[in-house]
Amino acid sequence: MFENEYTWGKAVLQNKTDDFDLKFDSAIDSIQNQFGKKYPNFINGEEVFSDEEIEVRCPSDTKILLAKFPKLNENQTKKAIVSAKNAFTKWSTTSYEARAKIFKDVADKFSKKKFELAAWLCFENGKNRIEAMNDIDEAIDFMRFYSYQLEKNQGFCKQTSHPNPNEKTQTIMKPFGVWGIIAPFNFPSAIAIGMTTGALLTGNTAILKPASATPISSYFFVKELINRVPKGSVNFVTGDGVVVGRTLIDSPDVDGIAFTGSREVGIAGLRKFSEKGSKPFIAEMGGKNPVIVTKNADLDKAALGVVRAAFGYGGQKCSACSRVYVQKDIADKFTQKLLENTKSLNIGMPWKRESFLGPVINEDAIKKFENAVKLARKDGKIIFGGNILKEKEHSSGYFVEPTIVTNLPEDHKLIKEELFLPFLCVDTYDDFQEGIKLANKTEYGLTAGIFSNDKKQIQEFFQKIQAGTVYANREASATTAALVQSQPFVGWKGSGSTGKGAGGENYLQQFLRSQTQTLCD
């Protein structure tokens, strides 16, 4: 049976958070002597280096060089595609039981060294230690849960009935071939590993391209996997998205793409990939996620849930809350509690125990923040934040204040466009129907939340909200932190291309196509 790793949650439940912190502190000490190393790519099972390199620097302190990775060109990327194509027959004919065992073994390896892996993540993309551990746990959960699903469904082979006893029939799900995996910076372990596991576990071969800012976490996964599968079954390539990513999408030898990133890039990739034929393109493409707070809400719970959802990992989650609609009757009280909670957030080095909020990912994010603040000051009212932090420990990193804005027009750019920043827009409404209407007024449909103690309102919210992953009265986080198996993560509208949730029972079948087989006596 599948069981979530749930490291931090178990530590809280068992009153062992001090033990968690001690192990994390030890892991931080142990990894720092590994900073600055050169790492290879993997093509056809072999290590590959290049003359041009990508420097991976810590966004909390850019003076820290974490690693160097190859910067591949188009021809090297094409070699990875060829190797994946050549490996397909051998890997796809490996039994589903053997494939599942490989990924369960890798999950066990990750579990044993999860504190070191999470410590790396703190430095690599700026997640605090709890968020980093959750990222690693999710990667472990994906490997185990998908393996469990493959075994439970017997490799997705099912006998079917036929009225003629002389005809024996069955349906079987078969892999497509070569998959390109294009992963984002914000979950460099969980999302990269989850998508790649989905492709490989079902018998496809894969080329994994991590985000250039965060290749370390997925490198550890491929390193663990590379000698367990036939040569070429999994390939690991780093480089510019306009070179490596484009080559994967343009190639006629790539049979499927799994992508997580912005809506603009995802839609453009989907159109390009499918312009010469129908091929699967699994895309999760962000959100502009709302929370409705009603006059029937527990305002303490609502304020805390919104702050955690909006500012956890600096709003750099597809599921982050970026819009709050508050009933006018309680707007002042809620806003006061929202400000109190936001003011209490500790902004610092994410690997430290006391830090809640670390840096944004890079200089481009800083520029986007500056532009958003200018617009907010021009067209609305900033009631908290709006500043870039450059003093003391923040001087060499990409630190900004969590920012709360009010008085924006309901169709304003800041309310409509995904920012991927710790930037929260607050608006008010009169009656509940208006609140739902405002929440649904978006091209996205990933996550949404409500705070109300009225059961009829909650039920109506669940019926009418246009989002794939929704929550009611969730103090832990109003819109984020979905758990594998329990809360399959799925986007509607412009947030996703398939309507099938990662971490859910339907996810693996996206990497497969059905064949009906008939044997006549």
What the block records as the tokens of 84 is 């994946």
Kindly provide the residue ranges of all beta strands, DSSP E only, lying in 285-370, ordered along the sequence: 289-293, 321-327
Residue in 58, 318, 321, 425 annotated catalytic: 318
Residue 88: other Cβ atoms inside 10 A: 20
Which H helix or E strand runs over 160? strand 157-160
Buried b (16+ CB within 10 A) or exposed e, 311-348: bbbbbbbbbbbbbbbbbeebbeebbebbeebbeebebb
Q: Classify 49 in phi/psi space as left (phi over 0), alpha (psi -120 to 50) or beta.
A: beta
Strand stretches in 176-278, DSSP E: 178-182, 205-209, 234-236, 256-260
Catalytic, 363? Answer no
Residue in the block written with tokens 């969980």: 190
Q: Which of 124, 284, 401, 418 is catalytic?
A: 284
Query: Residue 284 catalytic?
Result: yes
Length of the chain measured in residues: 521
Q: Where is 171: in which H helix or E strand?
A: strand 167-175
d(CA 214, CA 191): 12
Of residues 41, 3, 504, the one with CA closest to residue 282: 504
Question: What tokens does 249 get?
Answer: 């999408």
Contacts 24+ apart (CB under 8 A), 383-391: 383/335, 383/339, 383/426, 384/339, 384/342, 384/343, 385/342, 385/422, 389/347
Which active-site residues does the annotation give?
284, 318
